[in-house]
Amino acid sequence: MSASTQTAPVREPLVGDEGGMGYLERLPRRLVTVYLPLFVFLFVLLFPFYWMAITAIKPNAQLTDYNNYSPFWVVEPTLDHIRYLLFETSYPGWLVNTIIVAVAATFVSLVTSVFAAYAIERLRFRGARFVGLAIFLAYLVPPSILFIPLALMVFNFGIYDTKLALIFTYPTFLVPFCTWLLMGYFRSIPYELEECALIDGASRWQILMKVLLPLSVPGLISAGIFAFTLSWNEFIYALTFIASSENKTVPVGVLTELVRSDVYEWGSLMAGALIGSLPVVILYSFFVEHYVSSMTGAVKE
């Protein structure tokens, strides 16, 4: 019999081959590969919020008396800490300041990043890749190095202890990463769409506003969420450039106003941290699908 007429041996299917992910059907494997990692992930993710919540409604006597009360549960919950935070401190004003600064800094950073990412990715000028790399490397510079020269500029412009000091300094660390993220998303959009628009007589401005930006909504949402989250949680610049209590943001106000010498208002501290995290959680919950799709589009080549 010739070699051409010989048939190749048939491979016996391995156990679980026919099911694709069939190896996960066995309970011991599911426990180790699915349920145990999922439980650990959820515990690490949710336990801090649980701890903040129970601390915020614990009476002061239960915060330190671990002999008579469990640290993981609440007996006779109270709203005194939340009432004190909202009505006897400047926390509502800090919350408003944080919203104004975060929204304004996010808007400025997005506008700047859109123009920068479009110029680097679509105009194809010499050295564009080097410029893009330099912008991303600028994001890696720690704020602890930048805040000293930025402080001199803030003083010289006369905007110390104002919201403008934060709105104009936050983009120094927001623009580099947002630009890098939008560069990746613009790269995933076919060049043919832009070339067709150029043939039809569209200008670069019209292409950006009517072609690229409508297709880049998920990327813009992702960059906006990222910028808003960083602005909301920023601490070093807000601590350095703001002095008066009425202009402070939530991260700085909670730490500096609710900690008096060696006295920690733990209930109010945890209530402030919990309430301060809610806007970011709500923002992510509304736009999580766009966020994931934009991150996927930003990394594919």
In a domain, 76, yes or no: no
Q: Are residues 126 and 225 in the same domain?
A: yes
Q: Are residues 154 and 35 in the same domain?
A: no
**Domain with 160 in it:** 89-300
Distance CA 228, CA 284 (A): 11
Give the CATH number of the domain where residue 239 resides: 1.10.3720.10
Q: Are residues 93 and 187 in the same domain?
A: yes
When pLDDT is cut at 50, 70 and 90, the band that residue 22 belongs to is low
pTM of the predicted structure, to 2 decimals: 0.80
Nearest partner of 92 among 221, 271, 233, judged by Cα: 271
Angle at 283 between CA 278 and CA 286, to 5 degrees: 125
Q: Are residues 102 and 25 in the same domain?
A: no
Distance CA 28, CA 18 (A): 20
Question: Is pLDDT larger for residue 33 or for residue 19?
Answer: 33
In a domain, 30, yes or no: yes
- Contact indicator for 169, 240 with CB cutoff of 8 Å: no
Number of domains forming the structure of the chain = 2
Q: Are residues 182 and 46 in the same domain?
A: no
Distance CA 45, CA 32 (A): 19
Q: Are residues 250 and 185 in the same domain?
A: yes
Nearest partner of 267 among 47, 74, 45, judged by Cα: 74
pLDDT at 3: 47
Would you tell me how many other CB atoms lie within 10 Å of the CB of residue 114? Answer: 22
Q: Are residues 14 and 151 in the same domain?
A: no
pLDDT tens sequence across 174-187: 999 899 888 888 88
pLDDT tens sequence across 40-72: 999 998 998 999 999 999 988 888 888 888 888
